[in-house]
Amino acid sequence: MMQITFKDGNVKSFDEGMSPEEIAGAIAPGLKKKAVAAYVNDELYDLNRPIYQDAKLDIITKDNQEALEVLNHSTAHLMAQAVKRLYPDAKFGVGPAIKDGFYYDIATEHTITDDDLPKIENMMRRIVKEQESMMREEISQAEALARFKDDPYKRELIEELPEGEIISIYTQGEFVDLCRGGHIGNTRHIKHFKLLSVAGAYWRGDSDREMLQRIYGTAWFNKEALEHHLKVLEDRKERDHRKLGKELKIFMLDKRAGQGLPIWLPNGYTIRRTLEDYVYNLERKNGYLHLSTPVLGTKELYQISGHFDHYQDDMFPLMKDKDETFVLRPMSCPHHMIVYNSELRSYRDLPLRYAEIVTQHRYEASGALSGLERVRAMTLTDSHIFARKDQIKTEVLNAYRLILQVIKDLDLTIDYIELALRDKTKGKFHDDDKLWDEAEATLKQLLDEENIDYHEVKGEAAFYGPKIDIQVRTAMDHVITMSTVQLDFLLPERFDLTYIGKDGEKHRPVVIHRGLISTWERLMSILLEQYKGAFPTWLAPTQMRLIAVNQEAHGDFTQNLHEQFIDLGFRSSIDLREEKLGYKIREAQTQKIPYQLVIGDNEVKNNTLTYRRYGQKEQTTVSVQAFIDMINNEIKHKTKHAE
RNA sequence: GCCGCUUUAGCUCCAACAGGUAGAGCAAUUCCAUGGUAAGGAAAAGGUUGCUGGUUCGAGUCCAGCAAGCGGCACCA
């Protein structure tokens, strides 16, 4: 007998060799039914893996987050088995659980297409019916190598495991896989799944190695959860900024204009200008000085900064004149360094906060381009703060607080904050250890002092210094870097920046790079998806659409109202077409205009108007002045409305 | 850049059997109608089926190359 200690502290005796599944069944049939895997002495165990000694047992049920991972991981194995039956030459890479799903990387002569997915699903269902038990076995490295002698990818993984490490393999029917576990015990537990897509993926994420075929899928514990997830995926398609951007005439792409070179249409540009004005004023209030620099620079400028060495391949082809070579600028810091150096600076001048709405060009890989999310021409609000070392903390915090303000005003959600550090083993960073250590320590200390939660990530720093990245989760469930504060001791050296200190001597300032809203292009894609195209009044390209019930009787009043709104700075539009009322109303709704105003006898008589908010059925009649006050208030407070 | 898929009218993963010269809806145009909250009716028009080449008596359809888009991977100062 062995003593099993449960989560609640209870201890019970069971026969040695019983599995978590059997123990769960012995406690309560309901628990056995809900059980997915278990932690035995904090080690993840399969449901059917025998326990041989006294242990602490924690049954993972379907309600746990880990349970979904176990299920998806097991579904990946199930899929691999099905693929192997259909395409016997298949060799396997890795097949992990990921958020809301799983994938498996496969090498086979057969090209897997979307049409194959139902076939694979059918085979998977067959294996589920076969009720294959998923059995764990622990073997030596030598034995593992022998077992997987025909599987080059698995062999590579085995060879890299540390000497003496116990290797576990899982067998279900005829299928054997190298795997750490835990698993769900038997294929019969896998019922609700769907294969979603096929894609290519480099073996081990290395673009110098061969490409495998990757199948993505998703698995859930019940039909409702699966259907719900598929619905979420459908909803994302409806939100897609490329679809909404076309429907609402926000932007366009045309291959004659150039791949990845978007055109902002009047509606989109109106939103962008509103955002630009907002940021410009916010920066002005926070002591930033705005300037403007050219989109072209000399190659030499970027050689001094070091960008040319690092990013040459991602820059547009060089333009060569007789004596000079120009680059289409991929970023703006070097120009700002030159501005700093154009005068003799005193310690009293610092901090100096330069900001610019910068258009820059990057020759992104063709396969990376996507709508407004990833483009080759982009505009952003960039800033470089020149400061003394004793000002770093205040300036970084000021920048951070400004970022928080903007993120709040735009209804964005911070997912986490990342402190991106250097990884010495990677060559892409400058190699002055002293500068790195100091910069990294400064940021770390600052975050700790302010009690800001953050994840450290090695190897994600800029080549010139560490950075604090503000990671935002979008409506599409993507995590993107929205804002960044970077501490740079390198460029001041490269450009020989100095200021005269109190002591009359020359000192080196530091540069803080601050990115606020990624780029206007990417922000636009995120906002479109977030608001599903229904922008709050302060951003909406058209804020109100005026419709007269009868042109003859109410046309003049409506026209006057429209002119009054335009005078007030509202983005008003009037529909004068000889069309039925219902037709005009439908159009105002499909264009997602926040306010739709209908003017008839009552309104003309009482100097009122009747509005309907986008997406609502309710009609409200108010005085013209009350409406104006309401709109002004919404714009001022950036009021958002429920969808 | 790499792997796979896709490309038909301004828009819509809307049509065209198995190779026989392209069919809708909406929008736009013209005419008629039009007073209260999501599509009034009619007419006429709209196409070098992404581009280039090949196979064939004949190609939207089959093949090759290229381009762009899409799903991923790699990349992202």
Predicted confidence at residue A165, as pLDDT, reads 84
Mean pLDDT over A157-180 rounds to 92
Q: If you compute the radius of gyration of chain A from its CA atoms, what whole number of angstroms results? A: 31
Closest nt to residue A615, judged CA to C1'? B38
SS (H, E, C) A536-582: CCCCCCCCEEEEECCHHHHHHHHHHHHHHHHHCCCCEEEECCCCCHH
Residue A311: band (very low, low, confident or very high) from pLDDT cuts 50, 70, 90: very high
- The residue ranges of DSSP E strands in A87-134, in sequence order, are 91-92, 97-98, 101-107
Which residue is closest, via its CA, to the C1' of B12?
A: A247
The spacing between the Cα labelled CA in A307 and the C1' in B71, in angstroms, equals 32
Closest nt to residue A196, judged CA to C1'? B71
The candidate with the shortest Cα–Cα distance to A419, out of A400, A443, A398, A383, is A443
Mean pLDDT over A542-561 rounds to 95
Residue A426: band (very low, low, confident or very high) from pLDDT cuts 50, 70, 90: confident
CATH architecture observed for domain A66-237: 2-Layer Sandwich (3.30)
Closest nt to residue A577, judged CA to C1'? B34
CATH no. of A544-637: 3.40.50.800
How far apart are alpha carbons A106 and A92 in whole angstroms?
5
Closest nt to residue A216, judged CA to C1'? B72
Which residue is closest, via its CA, to the C1' of B34?
A: A580
Which one-letter DSSP state was computed for residue A317?
Answer: P
The spacing between the Cα labelled CA in A268 and the C1' in B45, in angstroms, equals 32
Predicted confidence at residue A90, as pLDDT, reads 96
The spacing between the Cα labelled CA in A128 and the C1' in B45, in angstroms, equals 58
CB of A402 within 8 A of CB of A465? no
Which residue is closest, via its CA, to the C1' of B72?
A: A199
Which residue is closest, via its CA, to the C1' of B75?
A: A365
Closest nt to residue A115, judged CA to C1'? B5
Closest nt to residue A589, judged CA to C1'? B38
CB of A174 within 8 A of CB of A71? no
The spacing between the Cα labelled CA in A537 and the C1' in B73, in angstroms, equals 40
The spacing between the Cα labelled CA in A596 and the C1' in B47, in angstroms, equals 38
The spacing between the Cα labelled CA in A373 and the C1' in B29, in angstroms, equals 37
Q: What angle do CA A97, A217, A174 make, to 5 degrees?
A: 80
Report the largest interatomic distance among the alpha carbons of chain A, rounded to a whole angstrom. 95
CB of A539 within 8 A of CB of A592? no
CB of A187 within 8 A of CB of A160? no
The spacing between the Cα labelled CA in A389 and the C1' in B2, in angstroms, equals 45
Predicted confidence at residue A431, as pLDDT, reads 84
Using DSSP's 3-state secondary structure scheme, residue A512 falls into: strand
Closest nt to residue A329, judged CA to C1'? B77
CB of A397 within 8 A of CB of A450? yes
Mean pLDDT over A367-395 rounds to 96
Which residue is closest, via its CA, to the C1' of B67?
A: A255
The spacing between the Cα labelled CA in A583 and the C1' in B41, in angstroms, equals 14
The neighbouring-strand residues paired with A359 are: A379
Residue A642: band (very low, low, confident or very high) from pLDDT cuts 50, 70, 90: low
Q: Where is A340: in which H helix or E strand?
A: helix A333-341
The spacing between the Cα labelled CA in A388 and the C1' in B35, in angstroms, equals 71
- The residue ranges of DSSP E strands in A280-337, in sequence order, are 289-290, 296-298, 319-320, 325-328
Mean pLDDT over A463-490 rounds to 95
Which residue is closest, via its CA, to the C1' of B39?
A: A583
Predicted confidence at residue A192, as pLDDT, reads 97
Which residue is closest, via its CA, to the C1' of B71?
A: A199
The spacing between the Cα labelled CA in A581 and the C1' in B46, in angstroms, equals 28
Domain ranges of chain A: 2-61, 66-237, 273-530, 544-637
| Residue A573 C-beta-side C-alpha neighbours within 13 Å | 17
Residue A427: band (very low, low, confident or very high) from pLDDT cuts 50, 70, 90: confident
The spacing between the Cα labelled CA in A111 and the C1' in B60, in angstroms, equals 26
- The residue ranges of DSSP E strands in A388-528, in sequence order, are 413-421, 455-458, 467-473, 479-488, 499-500, 506-507, 510-515
The spacing between the Cα labelled CA in A540 and the C1' in B64, in angstroms, equals 49
Closest nt to residue A467, judged CA to C1'? B77
Asked if the bond preceding A152 is cis, omega within 30° of 0, the reply is no
Residue A643: band (very low, low, confident or very high) from pLDDT cuts 50, 70, 90: low
A2-61: CATH, from 3.30.2290.10, 3.40.50.2000, 2.130.10.10, 3.10.20.30? 3.10.20.30
Alpha-carbon separation of residue A508 from A209, A237, A390, A461, A499 (angstroms) = 45, 51, 12, 22, 6
Q: What angle do CA A402, A407, A411 make, to 5 degrees?
A: 150
How far apart are alpha carbons A213 and A601 in whole angstroms?
67
Q: In whole angstroms, what separates CA A609 from the centre of its chain?
A: 42
CATH no. of A273-530: 3.30.930.10
Closest nt to residue A590, judged CA to C1'? B38
Alpha-carbon separation of residue A233 from A236, A288, A532, A643 (angstroms) = 5, 42, 14, 18
For A314-370, the pLDDT digits (tens) are: 999 999 989 999 999 999 999 999 999 999 999 999 999 999 999 999 999 999 999
Closest nt to residue A197, judged CA to C1'? B71
Predicted confidence at residue A641, as pLDDT, reads 78
Using DSSP's 3-state secondary structure scheme, residue A635 falls into: helix
Contacts of A74 (CB under 8 A, 6+ apart): A134, A183, A184, A187, A189, A190, A219
- Protein-covered nucleotides on strand B (Cβ within 7 A): 1-5, 11-13, 33-40, 67-77
Predicted confidence at residue A526, as pLDDT, reads 97
Helix axes A266-285, A392-409, angle to 10 degrees: 140
The neighbouring-strand residues paired with A467 are: A420, A486
Which one-letter DSSP state was computed for residue A318?
Answer: P
Predicted confidence at residue A255, as pLDDT, reads 92
Q: Please report, rounded to a whole number, the percentage of residues in chain A having pLDDT higher than 70.
A: 100
Helix axes A65-86, A116-130, angle to 10 degrees: 110
For residue A152, pLDDT beyond 70: yes
The spacing between the Cα labelled CA in A586 and the C1' in B12, in angstroms, equals 18
